[in-house]
Structure 1
Amino acid sequence: MLKLITKLNRKWFTLVNKIIYASILKVEGKTTIEKRVNLRPFFEANTALKITLKNNTHLKHDILIQGSGDLILGENSYIGSYSVIGVNEKVEIGKNVMIANCVSIRDTDHNFIDLNNDMINQGIKTEPVYIKDNVWLGHGVVITKGVTINSGAIVAANAVVTKDVPENAIVGGIPAKVIKYRDE
């Protein structure tokens, strides 16, 4: 009985989110959006937030996606609970990607170089983030702007990724470094 209630709740929240966020959300095929998913466009920006969910994607509960750029979530991929995605240019996530809970992905950083001007008034800089197919991001991972995580990579829990990750690499640490490769 509990499984049936859970399934009905997920269908209900998916439908409600599709209606509420119809202007920014494009769903291609089957998808699941759980409760308390918050899609927050930055209205003061020159571009609009656009989110594309491909077939068989899943947004777990309590996720925040905010900004004014394009987010694409590839087929058979999911984003874990309590994750935050800040997208002001582009975040593209491939097929069969597992994003654990509490992950932060940001394509934006604040400018801070001018010591005579408050940081809040210095604007932002953006660079796209690409997460290729068959990637696993562990719990609490942070992905910074301009990073590409290549196919087959694994990012260990709580790692901070500031540079590109090679194909089939296992990385960890702050900043993340290659620990080994999956075929070793």
Structure 2
Amino acid sequence: MPRKTILIPLFGWIPKSPGAKLRGLLYRGLFAELGNGCAIREGVEFTAPESIEIGSNVLIESRARLDAAGVDSKITIGKKSYIRQDVHIKCMGDNHQILIGEQVNIDRGVDIRGSRANCRIEIGDRTYIAPYVCIAGPGPIKIGRYCMIASHTGIYANQHRFTNLERPIQEQGVTCKGIVIEDNCWIGSGARILDGVTIGEGSVIGAAAVVTKDIPPYSIAVGVPAKVVSSRKPKELVAAPASQDMHYRDLSYLPASLQAVVAETEEVFKLISADREKGLELLQQHIKASSHTVFGESEDFLLQHFLHNLLHSVCQMLEVETATVLLIRKDEQRLAIQATLGLEEEILEKIRIPLGHGFAGQVAETGEPVVVANLSDIEVVSPVLRTKGLISMLGVPLRIKDQVLGVFHVGTSCHRPFTGDETRLLKFVADYIGWAIDRLQTLKIVAL
């Protein structure tokens, strides 16, 4: 029997609280439950509202769609939750349950659905689902409390079988083992969580990682496939290369985007070592045709290309707005930008940072990482940091062996307590930059 679909059009012209209250009174009888203080914006679509329970003080923004059309299916939204624009929540089979806890924030464009009967998807209290996340059955999915799922993440409790070589893959069915993400986990932007995986409590998954196996509690896992590189409990890197021996053969330690940069760089070194003149000519043609690097004062195109790619990857990996490499100008004992994403004005204005002064100057002088929770609390030399609206920053020294060569820092316009694990990962990348510069100097490609 077809289930009715309703669109919220009435009283849509009445703004804010009065319109929301009128819509609440009108539609209360249509739902299995509709709590007090709910606000349902114009253009929201409900299918089978008699199978939808909405707690008190829930806000559902325009163009959201909730479909509980399967037999004995149910959608439950806990109190004080926030469903933003263009969110789609759909039961696609009988006895399908989608249970959303209290104070859950589901951002715009999120798609939550199962494709078979008896699917159950649970999202725990106070969890945040960022824009354009896809959560799909038919296997059961359970996301715990206080989790953060970053944008464009895919959580897929299904996987095509492909063992039979004589049958088309699309006819071999799918697995439905299910996925569990325990409490207080942070899943980075663009990650993929595959069927059969359990991510332990308090774990962090790096941006663009592909999780194919279980992750122990309080782990940090990165790469494709995702591998554990650190534990939040002992605070100790697992199988990380020593900073004095930067050969980086175990690229699985790095997130996927950084793996690509490292692999390309090592291929460049091989090409130049084999035929310096021809290698440099080919690389220069390729880089000038494809690069959008914002150059500093150096004409070393290969170094600039390498840094540009690396900065892009770091911005995506840490979800920051700026990433900058500054090198010490020994004739001035000041720092100047070598490459940047986000602080291009510092290049145009030829800003210099004296050692020991300002944020970057302190990092260079002490040779230790510096985390700034609020930029307004410290002295800054460059006015660009303030005009860009940066609030939180993390900086680490660049070294060649034991010598400080410069500073690598990142920044964001929101309050953010950078963690010890993020600091260690940024130090790891900074050590790689130092190692690569040392190689370029050895090959007489740069002179700093």
Decide whether aligned partners of structure 1 residues 17 and 76 sit closer, same or farther in structure 2, where only a CA change above 3 A counts: farther
TM-score (structure 2 length as normaliser): 0.37
CA RMSD of aligned residues (A): 2.5
TM-score (structure 1 length as normaliser): 0.86
What is the match of residue 78 of structure 1? 128
Supply the distance in 1 between the matched residues of 2:160 and 2:81 (Cα, whole angstroms): 33
Supply the distance in 2 between the matched residues of 1:79 and 1:38 (Cα, whole angstroms): 13
What is the match of residue 49 of structure 1? 96
What is the match of residue 81 of structure 2? 31
State the 1:39 CA deviation: 2.4
More strand as a share of residues: 1
State the 1:48 CA deviation: 4.0
In the alignment, structure 1 residue 103 sits paired with structure 2 residue 148? no
Decide whether aligned partners of structure 1 residues 64 and 13 sit closer, same or farther in structure 2, where only a CA change above 3 A counts: farther
State the 1:53 CA deviation: 0.6
Decide whether aligned partners of structure 1 residues 112 and 13 sit closer, same or farther in structure 2, where only a CA change above 3 A counts: farther
- List alignment gaps of at least 5 residues for structure 2: 1-14, 21-37, 50-64, 69-73, 236-448
Name the larger-Rg structure: 2
Q: Is the 8 A contact 2:67 2:89 kept in 1?
A: no
Supply the distance in 2 between the matched residues of 1:113 and 1:145 (Cα, whole angstroms): 16
47-56 or 152-161, larger mean C-alpha shift: 47-56
113-122 or 145-154, larger mean C-alpha shift: 113-122
Choose which of 105, 113, 125 in structure 2 pairs with 1:66.
113
State the 1:58 CA deviation: 1.1
Q: Is the 8 A contact 2:191 2:208 kept in 1?
A: yes
More helix as a share of residues: 2
164-173 or 18-27, larger mean C-alpha shift: 18-27
State the 1:165 CA deviation: 0.7
Supply the distance in 1 between the matched residues of 2:186 and 2:154 (Cα, whole angstroms): 14
Higher relative contact order (CA 8 A, sep 6+): 1
Equivalent residues, number: 176
1:62-105 Cα deviation digits (max 9, x unpaired) = 11122231110000002111111111121000110000000000
What is the match of residue 125 of structure 1? 175
For 1:170, the aligned partner's letter is I
47-56 or 127-136, larger mean C-alpha shift: 47-56
Q: Secondary structure at the match of 1:152?
A: coil
What is the match of residue 21 of structure 1? 66
